[in-house]
Amino acid sequence: MSMREKLRTTSQEVIYRAGRDIVALYSRLMFHPDVVRHAPLPKGPKILASNHPTTIDPFVMLTLTRERMSILITELAFNVPGFGQYLHLAGHIQVAREKGRAAFDQALRVLKARHTVGIFPEGAVGRLKDEDNKPRTGAVRLALNAGVPIVPIGVHMDDKRILYRPIGNEDFNDVARWYLRGPYAITVGQPMVFKGDVNDRDYVQDASENLMQRIGALAQESARRIPRTPKPKGLPAGITSPLANPE
């Protein structure tokens, strides 16, 4: 590795750690996260796969491990001035429309470099309860290609506190679901190991649905630790968005 590459790697590490520490501090002060772990995170490269009820979930995921992690995040976030540059410098992965393969390949390189990847298999923010929504297969395909376990994660928070705000531009827009304060429950499940032919579409789809069912069960477990609240008025659950996940 050249001196320039070493400096770039060191700078990226510093930026990543600083961002993670800021998020961890904010989480402790504003969310008081209730984290239950069914098992310790396995050592080495792995995939953290979670449901995605709000826009802030990728950042809370960072607080679950001190290890370096690259999270697949929608291109809308990368387009925000200043913040998008930070995401690039911190080593997160941009998921652009119709370019899911590029994000997949980058995530695979991260795993093969023995780092961890964070991903959201739902395919959109807030669609866990949509029974007709099939999960994306990217998480399972990454796990099979890289030979790494998937750690399922289920999160839940106070729905009344979610703020709906439009983001993007006239060419590409969406609705952000901000959760800035309130209880936030996280349940980390047992690692799941998938062994099969990555080219077997039926197996990959079945494995992806199995993963999503496990995530759903963990999210329900998290929900039981937060008082029941009425559904928020306004936009319904199931808002589609270019989720940080390859096709």
The CATH classification number of 3-223 equals 3.40.1130.10
Q: How far apart are CA 180 and CA 202, in angstroms?
A: 40
What mean pLDDT is reported for the chain?
85
Long-range contacts of 197-206 (CB under 8 A, 24+ apart): 197/144, 198/141, 198/144, 198/145, 204/137, 204/140, 204/141, 204/144, 205/134, 205/137
Backbone angles phi, psi at 30, to 5 degrees: -105, -25
Residue 150 has what pLDDT?
98
159-196 per-position pLDDT tens digit? 889 888 876 665 655 678 889 999 999 999 999 999 99
113-169 per-position pLDDT tens digit? 999 999 999 866 765 555 556 789 999 999 999 999 999 999 999 988 988 887 666
As a whole number, mean pLDDT of residues 233-246 equals 42
Q: How far apart are CA 195 and CA 175, in angstroms?
A: 37
Answer for the pair 148, 45: CB distance below 8 angstroms, yes or no: yes
Torsion angle (degrees, nearest 10) of CA 159, 215, 107, 103: -60
As a whole number, mean pLDDT of residues 13-33 equals 91
Give me the half-sphere count of Cα atoms (radius 13 Å) on the Cβ side of residue 225: 19
> For the chain, which residues make up each domain, given as ranges?
3-223
Q: How far apart are CA 247 and CA 227, in angstroms?
A: 35
> How far from 90 is each of 14, 52, 93, 130, 224, CA to CA, in Å?
8, 21, 9, 33, 34
Q: How far apart are CA 139 and CA 198, in angstroms?
A: 11
As a whole number, mean pLDDT of residues 200-208 equals 96
